[in-house]
């Protein structure tokens, strides 16, 4: 199995979302390649086309050549299922040498099974518009199990699209949001996987549910060892891209409004999740450097530290030599 760096692991340093470095130069696509090479990784997954200066042929070719010079693979993805954007990214992926294009359902959950079926049907139609181009270039679309879709709903989407050109990108942490067991989700989705995002979370109990807290791999509640063992047997050719989000997500699992959007959630699923919070949850959720109003250097150093610790953990888990403990600028 090959290991890669998920670009959202440096979402603060990249400055493309809700934080922009004022002193340090934002991380570019080339910076990501250099970081992956420093950490003895095999590639980079770019989760957003904004990482690239351009999707045009010349720019994509230059980036591919830089990755090849470092012995790195490239994967690309985007949010949503817009068919025009997907087709543009499929063309760029072909030039970049990416073996897939990751997509996702970016619509909020519906309150009813009928509403979710309508969302899935619409998404399937958009995905199918891009399939002829995927066939032409020989690379599939990989739909991620984002927090707004359950495992069974994702399997239903695959049935709607059929064939070999719509697959799954499995995020190991996201099933917790829909009160699912990540290992059980991995088992169900394993035959359809094209890529994996390795993510872990710590938990902290709240009066109406719990909070997911981004952490280094191996330091949270996701059974990553069992998931990696499962995938190494079922799909040993997969690329595992390391994602360590510096952030939190509240899950109001005890609120009727939240549960009404998960009509398939069972009492057993809710009980299992709440026992996990009880047995392995933190007494309280500590603040990240950004939440404390720390200086930029501390904010970015904390983000980098989560990545480095995660890389070392996975390398040990796979029996690989550990990378040197490098920091930006060293």
CB atoms < 10 A from the CB of 252, how many? Answer: 15
- By residue range, what is the domain housing residue 176? 2-200+220-246+292-317
| pLDDT tens, residue by residue, 54-71 | 999 999 999 999 999 999
Taking only the tens place, the pLDDT of each residue in 228-270 is: 999 999 988 999 999 999 999 999 999 999 998 887 788 889 9
With H, G, I as helix, E, B as strand and everything else as coil, classify residue 89: helix
By residue count, the chain amounts to 330
Q: Mind spelling out the 3-state secondary structure of 1-57?
A: CEEEEEHHHHHHHHCCCCCCCCCCCCCCHHHHHHHHHHCCCCEEEECCHHHCCCCCH
**For 242, phi and psi rounded to 5 degrees?**
-80, 120
Place of tokens 């949001």: 177
Average pLDDT, the chain: 94
Residue 328 has pLDDT above 50, yes or no: no
The contacts of residue 9 (CB under 8 Å, 6+ apart) are 242, 243, 244, 245, 303, 306, 307, 310
Beta carbons within 8 Å of 242's beta carbon, 6+ residues apart? 3, 4, 5, 6, 9, 41, 198, 217, 307, 310, 311, 314
User: How many domains, the chain?
Assistant: 1
Mean pLDDT of 289-303: 97
In this predicted structure, the answer to whether residue 329 has a pLDDT above a threshold of 70 is no
> Measured between alpha carbons, how far is 42 from 73 in angstroms, rounded to an integer?
6
Q: What pLDDT sits at residue 163? A: 82
pLDDT in the model for residue 330: 38
Domain assignment present for 276: no
Q: Is residue 102 in a domain?
A: yes
Structure tokens at 40: 């003895």
Lowest-pLDDT range of 127-141, 157-171, 198-212, 309-323: 309-323
CB neighbour list of residue 117: distance below 8 Å, 6 or more residues apart: 156
CA geometry: angle 8, 226, 177, nearest 5 deg: 50
- Which DSSP letter does residue 255 get? -
How much of the chain exceeds pLDDT 90, in percent?
A: 88
pLDDT value of residue 5:
98
Rounded Cα–Cα distance for residues 36 and 75 (Å) = 13
Percent of the chain's residues with pLDDT above 70: 98
pTM for this prediction: 0.94
The pLDDT-based confidence of 320 (bands split at 50, 70, 90) is confident
Q: Which residue has the higher pLDDT, 283 or 326?
A: 283
CATH number at residue 43: 3.20.20.150
Residue 189 CA: distances (Å) to CA of 24, 35, 72: 40, 30, 26
pLDDT score of 325 more than 80: no
pLDDT for 324 equals 65
Kindly tell me the burial class for residue 78, based on how many C-beta atoms sit within 10 Å of its own C-beta (0-12, 13-18, 19 or more): buried
In a domain, residue 113? The reply is yes
Give the distance from CA 324 to its chain's centroid: 25
Whether 84 shows a pLDDT value over 50: the answer reads yes
With respect to residue 269, please indicate whether it lies within any of the assigned structural domains. Answer: no
Q: Is the pLDDT assigned to residue 121 strictly greater than 60?
A: yes
Residue 191 lies in a domain: yes
Measuring CA to CA, which residue among 327, 298, 330 is closest to residue 19? 298
Pairing mode, strands 73-77 and 43-46: parallel
């Amino acid at each position: 199995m090959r290991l890669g760096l998920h670009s959202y692991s440096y979402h603060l340093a990249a400055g493309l979302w809700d934080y922009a470095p004022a002193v340090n130069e934002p991380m570019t696509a080339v910076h990501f390649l250099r970081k992956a090479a420093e950490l003895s990784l095999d590639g980079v997954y770019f989760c957003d086309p904004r990482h690239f200066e351009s999707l045009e042929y010349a720019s994509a070719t230059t980036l591919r050549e830089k990755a090849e010079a470092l012995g790195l693979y490239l994967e690309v993805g985007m949010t949503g299922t817009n068919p025009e954007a997907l087709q543009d990214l499929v063309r760029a992926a072909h030039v970049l040498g990416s073996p897939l294009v990751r997509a996702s359902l970016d619509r909020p959950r519906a309150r009813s099974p009928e509403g979710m079926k309508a969302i899935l049907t619409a998404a399937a139609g958009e995905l199918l518009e891009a399939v002829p181009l995927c066939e032409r270039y020989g690379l599939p679309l990989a739909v991620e199990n984002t927090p707004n879709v359950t495992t069974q709903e994702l399997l239903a989407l695959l049935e709607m699209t059929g064939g070999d050109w719509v697959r799954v990108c499995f995020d190991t942490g996201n099933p917790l949001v829909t009160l699912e067991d990540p290992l059980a989700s991995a088992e169900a989705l394993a035959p359809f996987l094209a890529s994996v995002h390795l993510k872990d979370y710590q938990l902290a109990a709240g009066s109406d549910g719990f909070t997911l807290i981004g952490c280094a791999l191996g330091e949270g509640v996701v059974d990553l060892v069992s998931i990696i063992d499962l995938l190494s047997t079922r799909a040993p050719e997969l690329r595992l891209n390391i994602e360590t989000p510096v952030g939190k997500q509240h899950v109001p699992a005890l609120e009727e409004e939240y549960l009404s959007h998960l009509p398939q959630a069972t009492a057993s699923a809710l009980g299992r999740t709440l026992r996990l919070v009880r047995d392995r949850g933190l007494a309280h959720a500590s603040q990240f450097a950004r939440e404390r109003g720390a200086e930029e250097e501390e904010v970015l150093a904390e983000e980098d530290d989560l990545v480095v610790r995660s890389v070392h953990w996975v390398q040990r888990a796979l029996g690989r030599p550990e990378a040197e403990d490098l920091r930006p600028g060293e």
